Amino acid sequence: MACKITLIGAGSVVFAKTLIGDILQFPELSDAHICLMDIDPARLKVADVMMKRVAETLGVKATVTSTMDQKEAVKDAKYVICTIQVGGYKPSTMRDFDIPKKYGLEQTIADTLGVGGVFRALRTIPVINQIAKDIADHAHPDCLLLNYTNPMAMNCMAVEQEVGIQHVGLCHSVFGTARMLANHTHLPMEDVSYLVAGINHMAFFLKFQYKGRDAYPLLYKVLEDPKRDFELVRYEMMRRTGYFVTESSEHQSEYVPYFIHHGQEVIDKFKVPLDEYPRRCEGIIASWKDTEAKLIGEGDHKMVVNPQSHEYGSYIIHSRETNTLRTVYGNVPNKGIIANLPDYCNVEVPCQVDAVGLQPTMIGDLPPQLASMCLTNINVQQLTVQAALTGKREHIYHAVMLDPHTASALTLDKIWAMCDELIEAHQSDGYLGEFAPVIHNTGRTYAGVGDQLIARARPLGLRLDQPGSEFQLEIEVDNPSGEDAATTMSITCEDAAIEFTQTSVAVAVGAGALTKVTLPGKVLSAVDHEIAIGLKSDAANVLAIDTVLRPYPIIAANDEGAANDEGAATFNIELSGFHCAAGSLQRAGEDLVIKIRVEDSDIQTTNRRFRIGSGAEFFFADSSAESVKKVMLLPDLDGEAVVTDGHRATIAEARLEFEKKELFYEATITLPASLVQAEGTTFFFDCSVNLGALSDAHSGGRASLSGGKKTWEDMTQAHLVDLSPKLVEA
Name the residues annotated as catalytic. Answer: 172
- Residue 723: CB atoms within 10 Å: 23
Question: In what side-by-side order are the strands of the sheet with 665-672?
Answer: 569-575, 578-588, 591-598, 665-672, 655-660
CA separation, residue 574 to residues 375, 392, 597, 630 (Å): 44, 28, 12, 21
C-alpha span between 697 and 511 (Å, rounded): 39
8 Å CB contact between 616 and 633: yes
For 678, the enclosing helix (H) or strand (E) is none
Q: Which residues contact 91 (CB under 8 A, 6 or more apart)?
A: 425, 429, 431, 604, 692
Strands 554-556 and 719-722: parallel
For 354, the enclosing helix (H) or strand (E) is strand 346-354
Q: What is the DSSP string of 20-71?
A: HHHHHTSGGGTT-EEEEE-S-HHHHHHHHHHHHHHHHHHT---EEEEES-HH
Strands 542-545 and 453-460: parallel
8 Å CB contact between 196 and 240: no
- At residue 332, the 3 state secondary structure works out as strand
Residue of 413, 415, 348 lying closest to 377 (CA atoms): 348
Gyration radius of the chain over CA positions? 30
C-alpha span between 152 and 149 (Å, rounded): 6
∠ CA 632-638-642 to the nearest 5 degrees?
Answer: 20
Buried-state track 539-551, b at ≥16 Cβ within 10 A, e below 16: eeebebeebebeb
- At residue 496, the 3 state secondary structure works out as coil
8 Å CB contact between 549 and 716: no
CA separation, residue 498 to residues 160, 521, 529, 623 (Å): 57, 7, 12, 21
How long, in residues, is the chain? 730
- At residue 248, the 3 state secondary structure works out as coil
